Amino acid sequence: MPNIQSAKKRVKVSEKKNLRNRMVKSAVKTSIKKFNAALAEGAQPAAAQLSVTTSAIDKAVSKGVMHKNAANRKKARMALAINKAEA
């Protein structure tokens, strides 16, 4: 346990940020799982879920939870999966 006041505050702040980051990451992972489930059903439901998932990923990037290149990679792979399913 920290004894210095500023160190105590850093513990509190980092716990809050950690909780927020975990919530955002969990929401993104859930959205990706929903996209994969919709993709198994067909390209049409997956296309509807793609915009929701892309939005969740972009929000995670804007909050600093996810790196922009990782987000772009995930979005590109999802778009590729839809294109393969349609063909």
Q: Rounded distance, CA 75 to CA 80, Å?
A: 9
Q: Which two tokens stand for residue 58?
A: 């972009």
The pLDDT of residue 48 is 92
**Long-range Cβ contacts of 22-28 (<8 Å, 24+ apart):** 24/59, 24/60, 24/63, 24/65, 24/66, 25/60, 25/65, 25/66, 27/56, 27/60, 28/53, 28/56, 28/57, 28/60, 28/65, 28/66
User: The pTM is what?
Assistant: 0.86
Q: Rounded distance, CA 77 to CA 40, Å?
A: 15
CA distances from 17 to 21, 39, 40, 73 (A): 6, 33, 35, 25
The pLDDT of residue 26 is 97
List, for residues 2-60, the tens digit of each pLDDT value.
899 999 999 999 999 999 999 999 999 999 999 999 999 988 999 999 999 999 999 99
pLDDT of 87 above 90: no
pLDDT of 86 above 90: no
Domains delineated in the chain: 5-86 (1.20.58.110)
